[in-house]
Structure formats: C-alpha cells, structure tokens
C-alpha cells in the first residue's frame, strides 16, 4: 500500500468515526437542544442521517471505494493531466522568452 492509499484510508476511517460520533451525540442530546416535539424530531432525524451515512461510508471504506473527489479514468491517466502540464510548460517558456 502506498502513502497516498494510506492517507486515504486514514481519512476515510476518521470520517466514519466523525459521522457515527455525531449520530451518538445527536441521539443523547449532547448539544442540549430544546425538548419540544419539533426539535426532538429534528434531532433524531439528524442522528439517523449521520448514522446511515456513517455506515455507508464505512461500507465503502471496507470495499476500498475511496476516491474523495479524485476520480479519473485510469486507462487515460497520462492524458488526463497533459493539458495542464502543457499549459504550465508553455507559460514557463513564454516567461523565459520575455
């Protein structure tokens, strides 16, 4: 496992713990929200959403599906960044000419 994969795994596990922790904090009313029926419903709704999303993130982490916004076509990996590299090199070359 490379350093990049290790960082992704650490971040994924950390975020799963954050979401599940928030679910628990909402369930026990840690933030001391009002006990009216509306706020109690909202609190339990958030607790459920955090729990479901935390379980979903945990499932994705176990399956190894952590991309976190870094999705690209692996078959065309070398061409994915070539436009950026070319434009940076052209800018550098133009700056050197001036």
Residue 29: left if φ>0, alpha if ψ -120 to 50, beta else—which one?
left
- What does the alpha-carbon distance between residue 2 and residue 60 come to, in Å, rounded to a whole number? 19
Q: Which helix (H) or strand (E) holds 75?
A: none
pLDDT per residue over 46-89, tens digit each? 999 999 999 999 999 888 776 655 555 555 555 555 555 555 55
The domains of the chain are located at: 3-70
- Note if the pTM is more than 0.85: no
């Amino acid at each position: 496992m490379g350093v990049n994969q290790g960082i992704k795994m650490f971040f994924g596990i950390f975020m799963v713990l954050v979401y599940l922790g928030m679910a628990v904090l909402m369930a026990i009313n840690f933030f001391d929200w009002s006990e009216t029926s509306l706020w109690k419903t909202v609190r339990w709704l958030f607790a459920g959403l955090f729990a479901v999303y935390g379980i979903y993130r945990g499932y994705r982490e176990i399956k190894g599906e952590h991309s976190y916004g870094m999705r690209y076509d692996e078959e065309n990996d070398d061409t994915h960044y070539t436009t950026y590299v070319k434009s940076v090199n052209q800018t550098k070359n133009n700056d050197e000419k001036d």
